[in-house]
Amino acid sequence: MVMAAAPWIASPSLIQFGISTLLLATLAQSWNIIGGYAGYASFGNSVFYGLGSYGTAIAMVQWHLPFGVGLALGAVLAVAFAVVLGLPVLRLRGHYFAICTLALAEVMIAIVSNVDIAGRNTGLVLPLLRGDALFYEMAFGLLVLTTLAVLWIARSRFGYGLMSIRENEEAAAVLGVDTTLYKVLAFALSGFFAALAGGIHAYWITFLDPVSAFDIGLNVKMIIMAVFGGPGSILGPVVGAFLLSGISEVLSTEISNLAGLFFGVVIVIAVVFMPRGLADLGRRFKQFGWHYFAENVRVHRL
């Protein structure tokens, strides 16, 4: 409730921070579907974000369609991509899947840079809509929507199917889970929300070019946030996104290099001491106390 009311009381820069973070949280949450629940760590969700951005931009700039249609177009592009490329790529496991999606992300940047309708390298400029408050509410609404989707997944037959795939894909198959269908659905769902985030972002900053729209760094950010917060949990990625964004923002005002360095150190420490994220830490700290951290190391060291 408080969060929804924020635009009316907070300062402009805080609202801007809010919009960015809400969109990042949506990305982290969308990654959660394919990476956290299905266990397929995609390093290429930035593609969906970019497709959403470009879908919206092209619809509005080249064809003069309203924003809503643009968003829908972006989402359709992303889902189509997820289905068509998901089928072959989701056959890969573990590292290979991660690398393949990363490679796809790189390829997309180069391809879009050479396509005329997308404005090639110079990019596109969208019509301006004043009022950050509106974008804030849109981003907020999207995050709520995505989180509700995750909530539904966690308590549904679909979600159980995804988790069984994550935990042991072969066992899932012999129990009757249609692993291919479910993986592609998860991928498409993940892409859907990421694309919507991309569309909103494009309209908000009104300028789009291939490298920033398909920003590879986004992949990393959303994964770190989701994993730090707790992959496979409902609120984990959101908490992770806000926490890490917040701290990074505070540090940025001090020394910008330090913010990046901070991220790196946090990742390293988190992977060693709390590999299952904050959500798991929260749940088990009551039981184990400080031993939780030592236990994680003990179980995973050579």
Partner 1 sequence: MPSLLNVRGLTKRFAGLVALSDVSFELERGEILGLIGPNGAGKTTLINMISGTLSATDGDVTFDGCDLKRLPAYRRARLGIGRTFQIMRPFPGLSVLDNVAVGALFGTGGGDHNLPRARRVASEKLEFVGLAHRANQRAEALGGPDRKRLELAKALAMNPRMLLLDEVMAGLNLVEIEAVIAMIKKVRDQGISILVIEHVMKAIRSLSDRLLVLHHGEKIAEGAPEQVLRDPQVVEAYLGRRRA
Partner 2 sequence: MSLLWQVVVNGILLGGLYALMALGLALVWGVLNIVNLAHGALIMLGAYVCYYLFTGLSIDPFVALPLTMLALFAFGYLLQRYLLNLVIRAPMFNTLLITFGIDVVLTYLAQIAFSADFRTINPTYAGDNFALFGAAVPVVRLLAFAVALALTIILWLFLARTRLGRAIRATAQNLIAARLYGVEPRRVYALTFGLGAALAGAAGGLYGVVSQVNPYIGTSLTAKSFAIAIIGGLESPLGVIAGGLFLGIVESLTALYIGPTYADVASFGILVLVLIVRPTGLLGRTT
- Exposed, middle or buried by CB within 10 Å (0-12, 13-18, 19+), for 57? buried
Report, in angstroms and rounded to the nearest whole number, the Rg of the chain calculated over CA atoms.
19
Minimum gap (Å) between residue 147 Cβ and partner 1: 20
Closest CA to 139 of 44, 241, 232: 241
Minimum gap (Å) between residue 121 Cβ and partner 2: 8
- What is the residue whose two structure tokens read 């960015």? 20
By CB under 8 A, residue 291 contacts partner 2: no
DSSP states along 70-139? HHHHHHHHHHHHHHHHHHHHTTS-HHHHHHHHHHHHHHHHHHHHT-GGGTTTT-EEPPP---HHHHHHHH
Binding mask of the shown chain, residues 144 to 183, with x at each position contacting partner 1 by CB under 8 A: -----------xxx--xx-xx-xxx-xxxxxxxxxx----
Alpha-carbon torsion, ordered 196, 198, 200, 201, to 10 deg: 160
Among 265, 291, 294, 295, binds partner 2 (CB under 8 A): 265
Residue closer to partner 2, measured from CB, 167 or 178? 167
- The alpha carbon of residue 129 and the mean position of all alpha carbons in its chain are separated, in whole angstroms, by 25
Binding mask of the shown chain, residues 111 to 150, with x at each position contacting partner 1 by CB under 8 A: ----------------------------------------
By CB under 8 A, residue 171 contacts partner 2: no
Which helix (H) or strand (E) segment is 168 a member of?
none
Report angle CA 101, 191, 262 to the nearest 5 degrees: 65
Q: Which does 302 bind (CB under 5 to 8 A by kind): partner 2, partner 1, none?
A: partner 2
By CB under 8 A, residue 88 contacts partner 1: no
By CB under 8 A, residue 298 contacts partner 1: no
For the beta carbon of residue 8, count every other beta carbon within 10 angstroms. Answer: 9
DSSP states along 182-203? HHHHHHHHHHHHHHHHHHHHHH
With CB under 8 A as the contact rule, which of the stretches 144-152, 153-161, 179-187, 269-277 interacts with partner 2? 269-277
Residue closer to partner 2, measured from CB, 158 or 293? 293
Q: What is the footprint of partner 2 within residues 39-58 (CB under 8 A)?
A: 41
- Sign of the torsion formed by the C-alpha atoms of 255, 24, 155 and 43: negative
Minimum gap (Å) between residue 143 Cβ and partner 2: 24
Minimum gap (Å) between residue 155 Cβ and partner 1: 7
Interface residue list for partner 1 (CB under 8 A): 155-157, 160-161, 163-164, 166-168, 170-179, 232
Interface residue list for partner 2 (CB under 8 A): 41, 88-89, 91-92, 94-96, 98-100, 102-104, 106-107, 110-111, 113-114, 216, 220, 223-224, 227, 257, 260-261, 263-268, 271-272, 275, 297, 299-302
